[in-house]
Amino acid sequence: MKIFKFGGASVKDAESVKNVSMVLQSQGFTKCLLVISAMGKTTNELEKVVELYFKKDNYQTEIEKIKRKHIEIAEGLFPENHAVFAEINVFFDDIDSFLRRNKSPNYSFVYDQVVSCGEMISTKILSEYLNEIQFPNQWLDARDYIKTDNSYREGNVDWTKTEEFISSLNTEICYVTQGFIGSDDNNFTVTLGREGSDYSAAIFAYCLNADAMTIWKDVPGVMTGDPRKFSDVTLLSNISYEEAIELAYYGASVIHPKTLQPLQQKAIPFYVKSFVDPTKEGTKVGASDKNQHEESYILKENQVLLQISTRDFSFIAEDHMSLIFGYLSKYKIKVSLMQNSAISLALCLEDKFNQVDELNDELQKIFKTKAVKNVSLFTVRNAKMDHIDKFYQEKNVLLEQISKNTVQMVTQ
């Protein structure tokens, strides 16, 4: 089987949905499973619904706006009496009904039950459209196949159960399913983390022993830098799993960090290609004697630099480190870069759930801390050290780290 993943930009409106069918036509629509994200900015819009709900504000108006958008997309794809319109109404009625019944104060739990509806609706629309134009497929609810724990908003996959369920699928037909979501033992929805649809595709690829997995983006492939942030970037046509994992870890937004490991374990080739021009080569990730090691640039914005030291100028020892990382885990805060000396520890942090203030409050009971918000982490991978000075131009560098072929700096 082949696994194709289409992100929100590739299904943002009726014309984009039609373009997906053109991409499939160019690739051959047989024995494949499509993993689809929510349409356009729907995830952001549903996040706003959850915020309004917890503020006890008028979230119903926001739901109605999102529903209207999806109906307009469907009107550009289906005749007016098509059953898909009733399906769309049911999904949005379910959101409203859940929020009216809900008694849980757990923000992350409510978030997952609401925000996941974006993927449910987008896949239903795409699946129905493909069937309408004679691309036969079966719609799957990913929550019946990807099983997780109850770490809402950051679900951990139960690989034993997930592989058992997914491997039961008929690999002779085509499917359309959702990215980003799974379910726990109580069948409540659990999301896999923001931008987790790539990871969903890799889970299906791994469990189905897929021939290949392709992510369709609005860029030509993996570039040596984000063309919106850096000039003179070029396409990386072939890179190894290891290089792709490093780029993703450092923050290359074109690949989700968790995606590569399941594919590498079974040596499943991974492609990043453009849905704008599907005939172009794109990037191949896998084992190859053509793999490149080009100088690449990554900018992770909206980071927090947290500097920690002991109150009595004693060493930052193993017991201190264990305590600090326990708090990081508690607040689901990721470390992008760390540097320690005898009496201090500097951490560049990614605070996805806006909990760094709570973390800082906990640490200040024991340590002296200083938090600098809205910093950026600039990484140069495969850096050419003979012209390293150019990376420091016009930057206020708060922290730097240089290894054999990687330069990293926290800047303000």
Binding-site positions read 5-8, 43, 119, 228
Q: Which residues are annotated binding-site positions for ATP?
A: 5-8, 228
List of E strands, 231-322? 238-239, 270-274, 283-285, 296-310
**Cα→Cα distances 202→116, 166, 199, 264, 367, Å:** 19, 12, 5, 10, 41
Q: Which residues are annotated binding-site positions for substrate?
A: 43, 119
Residues 6+ apart with CB under 8 A from 40: 8, 9, 11, 12, 13, 69
Give rounded-to-5 percent helix, strand, coil for the chain. Answer: 40, 25, 35
DSSP codes joined into one string, 57-108? --HHHHHHHHHHHHHHHHHTTS-TT-THHHHHHHHHHHHHHHHHH-----HH
Query: 409, 384, 381: which is closest to 395 by C-alpha?
Result: 409
- 284 touches 238 (CB < 8 A): yes
305 CA to centre of own chain: 23
